[in-house]
Structure 1
Amino acid sequence: MTYVVTENCIKCKYTDCVEVCPVDCFYEGDNMLVIHPDECIDCGVCEPECPADAIKPDTEPGLEKWLELNTEYAKSWPNLTQKKEAPGDAKQYEGMEGKFEKFFSPEPGTGD
């Protein structure tokens, strides 16, 4: 088992999870974070820290796409090891449906 970042992170991109991760397995794209599944030690401390409820164990049904996405982009996005400010408009995107289709950018980015 590993943890994955899901659609709820898109455009919210809170980094409370990064602050508590003991192995620095988070990577940052323009619109979201991902977890590198080979680096995640399945400790679960990140899950309750996410204000957007975007982190889930990959054993939950329907998360195969998210495990694949986390795996792929963790290889090219930069590692994030410290908490940083959330985007100024993050609150307006919390709970929005369909964020993947609207906002997901597959291009590697720095999140700046």
Structure 2
Amino acid sequence: MTYVVTESCIKCKYTDCVDVCPVDCFREGPNFLVIDPDECIDCTLCVAECPVEAIYAEDDVPEDQRQFIALNAELSKIWDPIIEKKDALPDADEWASVTDKLDKLER
């Protein structure tokens, strides 16, 4: 099992999770993070650090977010690793509670 970043991260990109990851499995896109399923060791440390609760164990991803399992796998192959915390996007707090924002994902 791996962990998956879901829709809540889009346009927020808080990176608190990156700081605690012992294997550097996060990958960074323009306005979203993903977890590389081949690198994740299922340690759960990132889950508690996400201020928008965007990270789930693969088996616990909500039904309406299941497409993010494949999306994490796909984008982790093309995006670069992020290994240290950065500032969130400038308007992250405004987007934190917005739902249905998959169409805002920038590749």
Give the CA RMSD over aligned residues.
1.0
Q: TM-score, normalised by structure 1?
A: 0.90
Q: TM-score, normalised by structure 2?
A: 0.94
Q: What number of residue pairs does the alignment pair up?
A: 105
- Cα distance between partner residues in 2 of 1:18 and 1:12: 14
1:15 aligns to 2:15 (yes or no) = yes
1:95 aligns to 2:100 (yes or no) = no
Q: Which residue of 1 aligns with 2:49?
A: 49
Q: What SS is found at the alignment partner of 1:70?
A: helix
Q: What SS is found at the alignment partner of 1:34?
A: strand
Q: Which structure 2 residue ranges, 5 or more long, are not aligned?
A: none
Cα distance, 1:105 vs. partner? Answer: 1.9
1:27 aligns to 2:30 (yes or no) = no
Q: Which residue of 1 aligns with 2:83?
A: 81
Deviation sequence 1:69-93 (CA, Å, 0-9, x none): 0000000001000000111110000
Q: Which residue of 2 aligns with 1:105?
A: 106
The structure in which a higher percent of residues are helix is 2
- Cα distance between partner residues in 2 of 1:38 and 1:64: 18
> Which amino acid is the alignment partner of residue 105 of structure 2?
F
Q: Which structure 1 residue ranges, 5 or more long, are not aligned?
A: 107-112
Cα distance, 1:36 vs. partner? Answer: 0.2
Alpha carbons 2:31, 2:89 under 8 Å: kept:
no
